[in-house]
Amino acid sequence: MNMAYVDIKAFVTSIAKVTQWLAMSKRMLLIIRHWGPPMNKIQVEHPPNESRQAELGFRSWDIWTKEVSEFPWHYDEQEICYFLEGEVVVTPQDGEPVGIRAGDLVTFPVGMSCTWKVLKPVRKHYWFPTRTSI
């Protein structure tokens, strides 16, 4: 067997492994960033800046819709969502109401119980960082 061939093959294999590791590391850093220190409030970014949009790639996330209504909700895990349409007021238990509308990027903390009041029908992208990577 030609030594040059073995070296090139080993080199290409090493590069592929490093590329996979870097991709995995990026996803893990995003998940760690989203977990971060314990969060106990709803975070709203309006509008999210372009680098944040690119980082999250939220346009590829699943979509959830809801008609005008009011209902209780509990977050067993952190949820990040981008509102395409609608308007809601989410009131955390023992907290202040938070208004959310189309164009908002919202992070709901794990463990939060709240009441959703949907004022205008909602259409939003959503993602659970603990379930899947970006």
pTM of the model: 0.69
The domains of the chain are located at 1-36, 40-127
- Across residues 92-102, what is the average pLDDT? 95
As a whole number of Å, the CA-based R_g of the chain is: 20
Per-residue pLDDT band for 93 (boundaries 50, 70, 90) equals: very high
Mean pLDDT estimate for the chain: 84
Cα 38 from chain centre:
16
Assess whether pLDDT exceeds 60 at residue 88: yes
Q: For 11-49, how does the pLDDT look when each residue is reduced to its tens digit (9 = 90+)?
A: 667 776 766 666 555 555 555 554 454 567 999 999 888
How many percent of the chain have pLDDT more than 90?
Answer: 57
Is 40-127 a domain of CATH 2.60.120.10? yes
- Which residues have C-beta within 8 Å of that of residue 83, sequence separation ≥ 6? 100, 101, 102, 103, 104, 105, 106, 122, 123, 124
Assess whether pLDDT exceeds 50 at residue 123: yes
SS3 33: helix
Structure-model confidence comparison of residues 8 and 85, the more confident one: 85
**Residue 53 pLDDT:** 87
